[in-house]
Amino acid sequence: MAVSETFRVDTERPEQAIDVTSQVRDVVKRAGIESGVCQVMVLHSTAAIAVNETADPNIGADVITALGNVVPRHGEWLHDRIDDNAHAHVKASLLGPSELIPVRGGELVLGTWQGIWLFEFDGPRPRSVCVHVLAA
């Protein structure tokens, strides 16, 4: 058995980290699956999903800062000739579009401080996050 839902997140800034753990937990709860896996995927190529500490929102800001140090907004990006957002594509590629999280006892299996971040790199804009829960 599998359950799939998509929810929308409206980002507010060009680069932003948003904790979406509660929205994903709600989907897992509605799925009613005791044991399995939950895939969380952002359906865009300039945003990413990552599991990390969400108890301190500075972690999300730090990830954005670190990626900005590695991937400058303006460089010799070939894609900027078309869309001027190559940096956002590269940052999203480094983190990736999805995470796979175990489900046990009808709950996400995350560490004490872990949560699920949506990283925006080309906002503000509406983002779609697909949550697919598959029974074991």
- What's the total number of domains in the chain? 1
Residue 75's CB is within 10 A of a number of other CB atoms, namely 10
Flag whether 31 is in a domain: no
Give how far the C-alpha of residue 60 lies from the chain's centroid of Cα atoms, to the nearest Å.
11
Flag whether 16 is in a domain: yes
Flag whether 10 is in a domain: yes
- CATH number, position 111: 2.60.120.460
**What's the confidence (pLDDT) of residue 54?**
95
Residues pairing with 40 in the sheet: 99, 131
Contacts of residue 31, defined as CB under 8 A and 6 or more positions apart, other chains included, come to: 3, 133
Tokens of 5: 């839902």
**What's the confidence (pLDDT) of residue 90?**
96
Range of the domain at 74: 2-23+36-135
* pLDDT-flagged residues of the chain (< 50): none
Flag whether 29 is in a domain: no
Flag whether 18 is in a domain: yes
**What's the confidence (pLDDT) of residue 7?**
98
